[in-house]
Structure 1
Amino acid sequence: MTPHQLSFDLPVRPALGREDFFVSPANAEAVAMIDSWETWPSRKLILAGPTGSGKTHLTHVWAALSGARIIAAADLTDADIPALALSPLAIEDAEQTAGNRAAEEALFHLHNLSLAEGHTILLTAERPPHLWPLRLPDLMSRMQGTLVTQLRAPDDALLAAVLTKLFADRQIAPSPDTVPYLSRRIDRSFAAVREVVETLDAAALAERRAITRAFAAQVLDKMV
């Protein structure tokens, strides 16, 4: 057992730079849209995808490119809307405004004011806007009139890359055969990848064990 393979209770620091984002067929279209942000129709885009698919990472990449501010949709009702509209803006989890009259109205006014000021808007959500249960008709029409790009379910290369990145974010170096083994065993979803890495980290910390293929197999058997 080598010291660098042990799991330690260290802060999780996600790497959110453009160079840290692994491009595969599952996300290549979305990455291309972020890179070409100055050509978005009507200066707005919705980035849709499941939890853990890379929406937050790409949002930070876009913010670095455009100089945008980032705000959670849940914070819009308490935000200074005119001030937010003075620069490019990323609104995370925009779908969560649905059903909340005040939040929907805040998003509607921010959308209109930002575009009127000549700025660009990126919105993220788990689903395309036609699936959001919005109650404000004017907001619904604005969202459904926005170009959507989607992050797809992970292919083999992306699954392995996300596993590697999440281990690195936790400053963990598993044995070389661990990631290929996990890629073959776990459910093919971003949620499953995150759950497995979190569970392995906690188990390795509790048992003071290195994360190896054998240890991963033991933990997966317990999870099943």
Structure 2
Amino acid sequence: MQVPTQLPLSVRLRADAQFDNFIAGPNAVLLDSLVQLSDAQSDETILYLYGASGCGRSHLLQACCHRVELRGLTAIYLPASELLDLDPAVFESLEIYDLICIDDIDQLMGQPLWEEALFHLYNRIRDLSKRLVISANAAPKSVGAELPDLGSRLLWGLVFQLHELDDSAKLDALSASAQARGLTVSDEVLQFMLNHGSRNLKVLMEQLDQLDQASLTAKRKLTIPFIKQVLGWS
């Protein structure tokens, strides 16, 4: 196996971003397709997923990378927000990886050099039968690509919308994430977080991170009074 060249960007994967703790809800077909693509069990090598912030796009892309790396292969996760200060040439030779995951490509749209670099990457991925997973906040035709040829490439492969979970599934997702951290959290506490905080799952997960750290530091259990204190809720 050829070892990929080190990029001027290092993004650590979240340890808890795994397929087995992702609550699929209405996204079961998407989840199955990502697992098959990661395991090289799918005829399709490219997948584009889109959805609102907080739906779990970043979780799924990182889960793909984890699964590929567990098989002894190479994967790279690149959030567009951390690419913008770099030269688009960072996309060159990415096909040396077995799987490339690029998050939030909507942030690259309207920037000619980045659009061209992504266009050429799509072509190389298809020619070499490597695997590519892309995420964005909108469908391919609505994401804002100004390069017509890129617009057509974004439609290659599989395209899925990542649907938001209902409140019950969000509670399941919070519970699964807490368990992955080794946290003991009652259903009452999780329901309190959902009722009094944001219903955006990304924000809820960030709050759980904050509470995890505060609990470790203070050596206290996650109770409703403690959560109010840490998060500044009345």
Q: TM-score band, normalised by the shorter chain? A: 0.7 to 0.9
Q: Give 1:150 deviation, angstroms.
A: 2.1
SS at match of 2:93: helix
The code of the aligned residue for 1:61 comes to A
Which residue of 148, 151, 162 maps to 2:162? 151
| Residue 125 (structure 1) aligns with | 136
Q: 1:76 to 1:53 in 2, by over 3 A?
A: farther
Kept in 2: contact 1:162–1:193 (CA 8 A): no
Distance 1:76 1:119 in 2: 23
SS at match of 2:117: helix
Residue correspondence of structure 1 range 42-191 to structure 2 within 5 A: 43-63=45-65, 64-65=67-68, 67=73, 69-72=75-78, 73=80, 74=83, 77-79=88-90, 81-85=92-96, 87-168=98-179, 172-191=183-202
- Sequence identity (%): 26
TM-score between the two structures when normalised by the length of structure 2: 0.71
Kept in 2: contact 1:85–1:117 (CA 8 A): no
Q: 1:213 to 1:197 in 2, by over 3 A?
A: same
| Residue 32 (structure 1) aligns with | 32
Aligned residues: 210
CA deviation vs aligned residue, 1:95-138 (integer Å, no higher than 9, x gap): 22112221111111111011111222211122222222222111
| Residue 15 (structure 1) aligns with | 16
SS at match of 1:122: strand
SS at match of 2:154: helix
Distance 2:195 2:49 in 1: 28
SS at match of 1:36: helix
CA deviation vs aligned residue, 1:3-25 (integer Å, no higher than 9, x gap): xxxxxxxxx96413332323323
Kept in 1: contact 2:46–2:156 (CA 8 A): no
RMSD (CA atoms) = 3.3
The code of the aligned residue for 2:130 comes to H
CA deviation vs aligned residue, 1:48-79 (integer Å, no higher than 9, x gap): 23334322332233232484522424267142
Kept in 1: contact 2:17–2:63 (CA 8 A): yes
Kept in 2: contact 1:48–1:151 (CA 8 A): yes
TM-score between the two structures when normalised by the length of structure 1: 0.74
Kept in 2: contact 1:154–1:189 (CA 8 A): no
Distance 2:164 2:94 in 1: 36
The code of the aligned residue for 1:95 comes to D
Q: Which runs of 5+ in 2 are unaligned?
A: 1-12
